Amino acid sequence: FPGVPCNGLYTIIMAAAAAADGAEDPGMEAEELPLGCGGGGGSPAAGRSPEGEERHDPPPASVSNGGEAESGKDLVELKVIWNKNKYDVKFCLDSTGAELKQKIHSLTGLPPAMQKVMFKGLLPEEKTLREIKVTNGAKIMVVGSTINDVLAVNTPKEAAQQEVKAEENKKEPLCRQKQHRKVLDKGKPDDVMPSVKGVQERLPTVPLSGMYNKSGGKVRLTFKLEQDQLWIGTKERTEKLPMGSIKNVVSEPIEGHEDYHMMAFQLGPTEASYYWVYWVPTQYVDAIKDTVLGKWQYF
């Protein structure tokens, strides 16, 4: 500049440069603050550990979904057998028979009310598996049919039974027919089971014995509910019949001894297939029919 010494010009230029640098300083500081530890104070931010120290958060509270409790229970491995199907089941020993029926329902679709569950006899619903001493590998037999199966099987049987009754009404009483008289005329067997008039009872736990068959020989009836079979035993042999193979059951009181019945099991399509049994105590007649024809499942 005119009249300004060279060293004075240098001073002015450096002063202007310094002023320009000072104008940018605030902006630079604003950009660098977020990268600091707490805004220039050097102290740690609230809730943060001082630099160089390791922070340990408390472990989260454990939440149980029931798995630990389930794993702590005593389980038993069972083989559930129903309708020729086998199911491997792990079940809690402290569960009741009623709870096992619910499990069987989930496996088979068979409602609990229509299940006959067998383990060394009829499984009690109120007792636990531990109480009845169920062990690993135990076989649980289930007898019963779904509603659809019952309708499909029983409808023809009921129709056949009605036809037989209609035919019987047209004929003379069975006990007067010649083919039956030769057995009935032998009289009541000495060892026949006692009868109770006017009473309906469940099947006894022992075989029905002391009766005659058509040839006049002694016969006994054993109802194997866990196998869904009727065993007809004589001195010579025992016939094991699946309940489903018996087409019909007919009976009639014996004249002069109405507390006993004569009864026939239809094993084939015609009357010639009837297996006759004489001197059946009257209190068991309905239970026999219901058991063989499947109606017992409703009780």
User: What string of pLDDT tens digits covers the 299 residues of the chain?
Assistant: 455 455 555 555 555 555 545 444 444 444 444 444 444 444 444 444 445 455 555 544 433 333 334 445 789 999 999 888 899 999 999 999 999 999 999 988 888 888 889 888 888 999 999 999 999 999 999 988 776 666 665 555 566 666 666 665 556 788 888 889 999 999 999 999 999 888 889 888 899 999 999 999 999 999 998 888 999 999 999 999 998 899 999 999 999 999 999 999 999 888 889 999 999 999 999 999 988 887 644 33
Contact status, residue 70 vs residue 77, Cβ threshold 8 Å:
no
How far is it, in rounded angstroms, from Cα 206 to Cα 182? 29
Residues 165-188: b if buried by 16+ CB within 10 A, e if exposed: eeeeeeeeebbeeeebeebbeeeb
Cα–Cα distances in Å, from 6 out to 1, 11, 16? Answer: 9, 9, 16
Using DSSP bridges, classify how beta strands 274-281 and 218-224 pair: parallel, antiparallel or unpaired.
unpaired
Per-domain boundaries in the chain = 75-150, 174-293
Contact status, residue 143 vs residue 226, Cβ threshold 8 Å:
yes
Indicate the fold that domain 75-150 takes in CATH.
Ubiquitin-like (UB roll) (3.10.20)
Question: What per-residue confidence (pLDDT) applies to 240?
Answer: 94
Nearest alpha carbon to residue 286 among 202, 196, 178? 202
> What's the CATH architecture for 174-293?
Roll (2.30)
Cα–Cα distances in Å, from 147 out to 124, 150, 297? Answer: 23, 5, 10
